[in-house]
Amino acid sequence: MSDSVQGTAKRIKRLEIQGARNVAIAAKKAMETLASQAEAHSKKDFLRELVKAKEALFASRATEPLMRNALRLIINRVEKTEERNVKKLADIVSEASQQFLADLENSTKKIAEIGARRIKNDHVILTHCHSSTVTNLLKRAKHEGRNFEVICTETRPMFQGQTTAKEMLDLGIKTTFIADSAIRFFMNQVDLVLVGADAITSEGNVINKIGTSMVALAAQESRTPFYVVSELLKFDPATMYGDYEKIEERSPNEVWKNAPKDLVIRNPAFDVTRRDFIHGIICEEGIISPHSITEVMHRKYAWVFEY
Amino acid sequence: MSDSVQGTAKRIKRLEIQGARNVAIAAKKAMETLASQAEAHSKKDFLRELVKAKEALFASRATEPLMRNALRLIINRVEKTEERNVKKLADIVSEASQQFLADLENSTKKIAEIGARRIKNDHVILTHCHSSTVTNLLKRAKHEGRNFEVICTETRPMFQGQTTAKEMLDLGIKTTFIADSAIRFFMNQVDLVLVGADAITSEGNVINKIGTSMVALAAQESRTPFYVVSELLKFDPATMYGDYEKIEERSPNEVWKNAPKDLVIRNPAFDVTRRDFIHGIICEEGIISPHSITEVMHRKYAWVFEY
Amino acid sequence: MSDSVQGTAKRIKRLEIQGARNVAIAAKKAMETLASQAEAHSKKDFLRELVKAKEALFASRATEPLMRNALRLIINRVEKTEERNVKKLADIVSEASQQFLADLENSTKKIAEIGARRIKNDHVILTHCHSSTVTNLLKRAKHEGRNFEVICTETRPMFQGQTTAKEMLDLGIKTTFIADSAIRFFMNQVDLVLVGADAITSEGNVINKIGTSMVALAAQESRTPFYVVSELLKFDPATMYGDYEKIEERSPNEVWKNAPKDLVIRNPAFDVTRRDFIHGIICEEGIISPHSITEVMHRKYAWVFEY
Amino acid sequence: MSDSVQGTAKRIKRLEIQGARNVAIAAKKAMETLASQAEAHSKKDFLRELVKAKEALFASRATEPLMRNALRLIINRVEKTEERNVKKLADIVSEASQQFLADLENSTKKIAEIGARRIKNDHVILTHCHSSTVTNLLKRAKHEGRNFEVICTETRPMFQGQTTAKEMLDLGIKTTFIADSAIRFFMNQVDLVLVGADAITSEGNVINKIGTSMVALAAQESRTPFYVVSELLKFDPATMYGDYEKIEERSPNEVWKNAPKDLVIRNPAFDVTRRDFIHGIICEEGIISPHSITEVMHRKYAWVFEY
Amino acid sequence: MSDSVQGTAKRIKRLEIQGARNVAIAAKKAMETLASQAEAHSKKDFLRELVKAKEALFASRATEPLMRNALRLIINRVEKTEERNVKKLADIVSEASQQFLADLENSTKKIAEIGARRIKNDHVILTHCHSSTVTNLLKRAKHEGRNFEVICTETRPMFQGQTTAKEMLDLGIKTTFIADSAIRFFMNQVDLVLVGADAITSEGNVINKIGTSMVALAAQESRTPFYVVSELLKFDPATMYGDYEKIEERSPNEVWKNAPKDLVIRNPAFDVTRRDFIHGIICEEGIISPHSITEVMHRKYAWVFEY
Amino acid sequence: MSDSVQGTAKRIKRLEIQGARNVAIAAKKAMETLASQAEAHSKKDFLRELVKAKEALFASRATEPLMRNALRLIINRVEKTEERNVKKLADIVSEASQQFLADLENSTKKIAEIGARRIKNDHVILTHCHSSTVTNLLKRAKHEGRNFEVICTETRPMFQGQTTAKEMLDLGIKTTFIADSAIRFFMNQVDLVLVGADAITSEGNVINKIGTSMVALAAQESRTPFYVVSELLKFDPATMYGDYEKIEERSPNEVWKNAPKDLVIRNPAFDVTRRDFIHGIICEEGIISPHSITEVMHRKYAWVFEY
């Protein structure tokens, strides 16, 4: 396996590379590099190298469906081609990799376009954590002239809500900032909840930043529509086959530095929002019911189920 | 009005005196001092001074039912007595004041005794914020030999959960500490929720630290019993007559120091947990349904409705 | 039995006298007249006449708790007095009758005073049908300078919502008028629901104009507070002893004049809103939980349980 | 302590005496015998004997509130009297004991009278287990000429539903018999659920035969009214002070005779139905909201809180 | 653009043509006429004319998915054909147009056939407003010999329930007619709710006559099955791409003629019933879960997503 | 029709063959025998015989989707082949039949593999009745080294839970056995519910042993995940076209032998668990949302919709 793959895997593991999108891009680049330097003499050997690289990159993070789907696409293209020439196979890797990125950018753009239509004047929109897919959507709505407000939760322990708040203010959007514990207090004033996704399961559930499922519960109690804004490739095919989406537990220090000895600090990074709390997933396909996610994936990206 | 009353009112307003109990004790002491130094020559004048003091102290904080009920008791005793001698009336103020304190201590003890019986071995108990009434109850259960665990929420923005966690560890109780956003994540493992109260309304709702109503919502969703632990004198008779319990909004700095200009920060200190989320109020009378709170008050402390 | 009683009973039966308040006033007047003209020579005979009159008036309407409680009060006073002189007993009837009216007016005033405190600036308040207790409350809030909007439902089949709308416009309140079927459509914009009551049962349920329970259901689904505004004397003690509050079915013509032959038209005038949908009953005692209504009645008006 | 008390306590413990009513009657009789044979020379000694007897009888069963309340009444009467003569105190015991029984019979009669008014023609009524208070009520409704059907659950493991079914058939009531697991299947056809109670807690919850809470859950899901039929003296004051109503676990043999070794068989005899599932408690006082039970007890039977 | 298209668009706009089916038929006829008279010399020009006509007809009504899907089908057929001859293209328009109509009639027939199987003897079926798809289904069930009752809501403000009631009576079906506000009052007696649809969104929600969502809410509360009866071509692909289904507001006069000046009358014609209230959509494909509607459309009518 | 088909149909009708799997295998064998002995001279005649046999076998049981789907597959293969030679057609029947069995075994294996991944150490799993698909899954999880407990309900009236309990004990799994009425009592201790299926409807509902829907209701109330474990071929295409899944009523003797005359005993064998209670269906395709079942069937087994 090339240094690039091992190095990338290491950097992902050490959190030097973060964010579903950045991780996916780094991994696909490592694959391109590997492919361009491959010394294999047959397609079979070439594929074996790719698969080994895939496994190393998969192992770098508990679950990272976007990255995994990027690698699945690349390997799928190589397997499916009639081409046997190793150099040309490397070109195919490169093309698949670039197409993945182009598709991803295209998806983000389409999602913003579709989702922005849901924002009306005078809407109050609540969002949790920071999701660039969500902020892109809001940016688009603002650029189209819609006049709305945003409520950002601070999103303990890492305060990613501060990033969201700054982006909103920079766009000239009226922004309110609240502690996570105040979500229910303000929910009756909210017209629409928009959150991102780290992963989508075969049952239609969404894994996202810890606290998202409480936002969903409070939204449901107030009859406030709750939408997930996400590329379909956040779908994790492993959940189809029984795997739980693993919930990463992060350092206790994020929650309390210099905490008393003997104190157990639990710091799960994500939680699960069940499909029945989700009005729709705003994705590149349009707005869909999460209950049909597996069939949507079979129609649009059937190759994710192959590896 | 005596310096003592004015000074106490000021210190309460500036938050130099905090906590329902401490505020009540300071206010009753100010009343005692005022009474002992009163220069009134008639009961009528004496009462007028007391009432002016009461109003000054009431004005020091939006809602502080325990303090207000302490002053109500003192004035009630003076009004009801046949005594006309001003010196002896001052003694009555002093007696009423001391009895209030004694009763409060007695209530806290009874509450601990009653509530501790609800703790079983191997229970996992979740609490939010810091409430000395709750921690007393847990201490009592521990001293009686029960073996249980406690989950403390950090309680942003002021991290009062850290105080609770330290007290629990000092008692030798296994303690887990989590961010507020993780409450729903852990709720299925919880056997019992115990929280304190800042005020109880005539409808049977409980005002407590911001986030309490989300704990209650998540508890209900998981069929986890949710109890409020509180002295009955947290009941606010003003709610009977239509006043909303005012929800204090505290400084934005508590939520985000050096926040961007133009950002609106909302920092409500409390929220309302409706009676239907509350399995029972553990009070000095026993464990009661919050729906009957007004009748309980009429039976036990009818004088709170008179002023 | 005097003509007055028989005549009044007839006019009530024929709906020539309508509205809980008007019916109660007419009945108590008939009792006064009867008492002043009574030819009885003993208290026993006098009481027998009163009881016969009571029975005649009770029989004039399926359920009319306010009127029934007025008569109960009168009889209670006569029974309880030491007085034996028939003329003086007639004076007692007259005093009780006048006191009932004075108390009722006082209750209405107190209810307006208490309830008006719940109206905040910018509130949107939805009300169903026409209730003078509710419109009094809103009038008071308006006069106190609060700035709010009202949504009136038309309230088929008799369009009482039109009366409410006109009263609101006359007070200079911004008023919106909607069909009953549109209640859920607008509920997410409503801050507070206020409705009257025709009767309150011992379980804490409220009988009110048909459709009220659907308003309550839609309010609950949107986490919108739902309050009943009513004098306590709408409580029907017969429900305590197992009687269902009878639901009057009115003429099919109200729903469809010249309807096809063979069509069954059902026109129930009231429905039952269960206590768990009701945040509070705003009554002369203050704001109470409906779950405690029977105990409140025992404390305030114990005599209603005696007849 | 007399043989009678010890013997009775033993027979209760060995389940030779069963049923809340039978146990209460046996215990009160033992008290009468003890009192009539008491050799005490002072009221103080006499009371000490009674209290010892009470403790022995309390100890014979985990929770048996009706019996306990019977003994509480007897001791209360002795304590409250001015009488000091031991023979006359024995008479007071006897009177109290007989009054308890008379009151109980009176309550059962009143409950039947009140509850029967809730049965309408063509009603389908579901009941679980066997409760004589419930069957008395149904008998009364039948005798009053109401025409209705009853669905009985078999009530595993002891098949008490068979007793109920036989009683219903003997009354000439159309009766349907189903397995416990079929309750939800039939619930949409049920108009009214009526169950008895083994104990009522201070929160307003009802302890009754295992499965009752599932009936309540299925009734709620179908908007079917669910009533508990019970004497108020099933109230257990110990729950007021924090004690859980103990749930007896009975012999595994009731569930599976000759079960495989190593199999754990759990056989709880009762479960808890929370107050929010209960439309009303039909008791001697009338139909009340369970949320107000503690205040009702304070008003009617304040002495239960004294011991 | 031909006169026919402009004229038809105008008549649709002025509500001279009403009802989803009639509007669709008029629009497709206008397209046929346009095509038969087209003077275009190339397929490209021909298509340009069709697209202009489509846009004119789309603009005639806020949302009218059945009509829009009719036009989408016609244009799809022209675009997809290899044919270039303009006359023959006009024939293709005509064929597509006729096939659309034939398919629609076939769908209605299949829906009646499928749905009628759900009607059992003695069923009480509630329907809201007037839907010919629903009444066809009931007619079929009646003709097959099933014996059932129907409850019709009057459906303010336009009383379309009267039309439904008359149709039912003409079929010899026992029919009950109620005000909209009485829906919840009768819901416990209802076995099945059947309503039509004006549009179906990509999330699986159904837009139908105002009040439908309240029927659904009351049905859910009583565990009464709620089915939507609709052709799949009521699906609106624009909702897929973020557009809200626009809710038409109709004339205030429908609600209150000669209403007081200053009164705001809101008269939304439709509301949204969320998918989670809907047991199934009875459509030409069979009975489906609304959550899968988008995938069903992709499988059966993929062309609706292309324009 | 061959003796084999008639004999098999009879034995199925008489319950001499039981269990979805056994019935399906017997029916397909009868078809193989019929095919191998067929005297038809043309494909048309051959098919006619198969269809007659299918109808006889369909008629043997109200609904038995697995068996029906087996026969549908066989006939589909014959219809679709180009082959016309009757002997070769018989081979095709045989191949289809064997493939059906192989696929079924493969499905069961895959389901166990997928589902076992959902079992974690220390899990408490509740199951109702006996399902070999469920016990296979648990066996697999045990063999993979997971350490968990199982709670079995006794499953009146036929006590199939005893079979499950014995199998679990034989696998060395800690097993608890409870009466059906105790399900809610224990639900808060359960981590996962797993049940089988007798049929799956086009709406996504699951028909399974009576009581399953109560387990689901209690699971939902406690936020306990509820999964159905089933081969996709339990899907019943007839439900697509409006047929209710018929609920078999079995002998009263199963519930009460020697019951009193006049007693109506109802003994439905199955009930319906609506899709919204089901977290997922664990099937050979993976874990899917029941809401998408029809689309999954169209993708995987489209032929079931053809007959």
pLDDT in tens, F214-261: 999 999 999 999 999 999 999 999 999 999 888 889 999 999 999 999
Across the E:F interface, residue pairs with CB atoms under 8 Å apart total 56
Mean pLDDT, rounded, for D135-160: 97
One DSSP character per residue, A47-112 reads: HHHHHHHHHHHHTTSS--HHHHHHHHHHHHHHHH-S---HHHHHHHHHHHHHHHHHHHHHHHHHHH
pLDDT of residue E2: 63
Contact B276 C279 (CB under 8 A): no
D129 is catalytic: yes
**D113, two tokens:** 């009278």
Which of E152, E198, E236, E283 is catalytic? The answer is: E198
One DSSP character per residue, F24-91 reads: HHHHHHHHHHHHHT---SSHHHHHHHHHHHHHHHHTTSS--HHHHHHHHHHHHHHHH-S---HHHHHH
Report pTM: 0.97
**Mean of per-residue pLDDT scores for chain B:** 95
Chains that touch E (3 or more CB pairs under 8 A): A, C, D, F
One DSSP character per residue, chain D reads: --HHHHHHHHHHHTTSS-SHHHHHHHHHHHHHHHHHH---SSHHHHHHHHHHHHHHHHTTSS--HHHHHHHHHHHHHHHH-----HHHHHHHHHHHHHHHHHHHHHHHHHHHHHHHTT--TT-EEEE-S--HHHHHHHHHHHHTT---EEEEE--TTTTHHHHHHHHHHHTT-EEEEE-GGGHHHHHTT-SEEEE--SEE-TTS-EEEETTHHHHHHHHHHTT--EEEE--GGGB-HHHHTTPPPP--B--GGGT-TTPPTT-EE--BSEEEE-GGG-SEEEETTEEE-GGGHHHHHHHH-GGGGG-
Q: Of E171-180, E232-241, F37-46, which gets the smallest average pLDDT?
A: F37-46
| H helix runs in B86-245, sequence order | 86-116, 132-143, 160-170, 183-187, 212-221, 237-240
Chains that touch B (3 or more CB pairs under 8 A): A, C, D, F
Give the nearest partner residue to A156 out of B176, B179, B262, using CB atoms. B179
- CB contacts of B194 in chain D (<8 Å) are none
Mean pLDDT, rounded, for D200-224: 98
pLDDT of residue F19: 84
What is the CB neighbour count within 10 angstroms for residue D303? 17
User: In which band, very low, low, confident or very high, does the pLDDT at E307 lie, cut at 50, 70 and 90?
Assistant: confident
Mean pLDDT, rounded, for B5-14: 92
Give the nearest partner residue to E288 out of F243, F289, F294, using CB atoms. F294
Per-residue tens of pLDDT for chain A, all 307 residues: 566 899 999 999 888 998 889 999 999 999 999 999 988 899 999 999 999 999 999 999 888 999 999 999 999 999 999 999 999 999 999 999 999 999 999 999 999 999 999 999 999 999 999 999 999 999 999 999 999 999 999 999 999 999 999 999 999 999 999 999 999 999 999 999 999 999 999 999 999 999 999 999 999 999 999 999 999 999 999 999 999 888 889 999 999 999 999 999 999 999 999 999 999 999 999 999 999 999 999 999 999 998 7
Measure the CA dihedral E246/E250/E256/E259, to 10°: 90
Asked whether residue E207 carries a pLDDT value surpassing 80, the answer given is: yes
- For helices B43-58 and B65-80, the axis angle rounded to 10 degrees is 170
User: Higher confidence at residue A15 or residue B188?
Assistant: B188
Is the minimum CB–CB distance between A276 and chain E shorter than 8 Å?
yes
Beta-carbon contacts of A297 under 8 Å, excluding residues fewer than 6 positions away, are A232, A235, A237, A304, A305
pLDDT of residue E18: 82
- CB contacts of B118 in chain D (<8 Å) are 242, 244
Low-confidence residues in chain C, pLDDT < 50: none
Contact B157 A177 (CB under 8 A): no
pLDDT of residue D39: 86
**E281, two tokens:** 């959509």
User: In which band, very low, low, confident or very high, does the pLDDT at E15 lie, cut at 50, 70 and 90?
Assistant: confident
Chain A CA closest to residue E294 = A288
Which of E3, E91, E129, E180 is catalytic? The answer is: E129
| Ramachandran assignment for D15, one of left (phi > 0), alpha (psi -120 to 50 degrees), beta (any other) | left
- For residue range D1-30, list pLDDT tens digits in order: 566 899 999 999 888 998 889 999 999 999
Contact E296 F292 (CB under 8 A): no
User: In which band, very low, low, confident or very high, does the pLDDT at E280 lie, cut at 50, 70 and 90?
Assistant: very high
Which of D129, D152, D236, D283 is catalytic? The answer is: D129
Contact E114 F242 (CB under 8 A): yes
**Strand A192-195 and strand C199-200: pairing?**
unpaired
Give the nearest partner residue to D176 out of F153, F260, F266, using CB atoms. F266
- CB contacts of B117 in chain D (<8 Å) are 241-244
Asked whether residue E154 carries a pLDDT value surpassing 60, the answer given is: yes
User: In which band, very low, low, confident or very high, does the pLDDT at B19 lie, cut at 50, 70 and 90?
Assistant: confident
- CB contacts of F299 in chain A (<8 Å) are 295, 298
- 3-state secondary structure at position A132: helix
Q: Of C237-246, D130-139, D190-199, which gets the smallest average pLDDT?
A: C237-246
**To the nearest whole angstrom, how far is the Cα of A39 from the nearest Cα of chain B?**
48
Asked if E164 and E195 count as a contact pair (C-beta separation under 8 A), the reply is no
**To the nearest whole angstrom, how far is the Cα of A298 from the nearest Cα of chain F?**
9
pLDDT of residue D1: 56
Which of F45, F91, F122, F129 is catalytic? The answer is: F129
Asked whether residue F287 carries a pLDDT value surpassing 70, the answer given is: yes
Contact D242 B114 (CB under 8 A): yes
pLDDT of residue F1: 56
Asked whether residue F79 carries a pLDDT value surpassing 70, the answer given is: yes
Which of C3, C91, C122, C129 is catalytic? The answer is: C129
**Mean of per-residue pLDDT scores for chain D:** 95
- CB contacts of B292 in chain C (<8 Å) are 289, 291-292, 295
Contact B287 D204 (CB under 8 A): no
Beta-carbon contacts of B22 under 8 Å, excluding residues fewer than 6 positions away, are none
User: In which band, very low, low, confident or very high, does the pLDDT at F193 lie, cut at 50, 70 and 90?
Assistant: very high
pLDDT of residue D14: 87
Asked whether residue F107 carries a pLDDT value surpassing 60, the answer given is: yes
E236 is catalytic: no
Which of C45, C191, C198, C271 is catalytic? The answer is: C198
Asked whether residue F190 carries a pLDDT value surpassing 60, the answer given is: yes
Q: Which residues of A are catalytic?
A: 129, 198
Is the minimum CB–CB distance between D214 and chain B shorter than 8 Å?
no
Q: What is the DSSP letter of C82?
A: S
- For residue range E164-184, list pLDDT tens digits in order: 999 999 999 999 999 999 999
Asked if B91 and B78 count as a contact pair (C-beta separation under 8 A), the reply is no
Asked whether residue B1 carries a pLDDT value surpassing 70, the answer given is: no
Mean pLDDT, rounded, for D215-228: 98
- Among the listed residues D269, D274, D227, the one whose alpha carbon sits nearest the alpha carbon of residue D252: D269
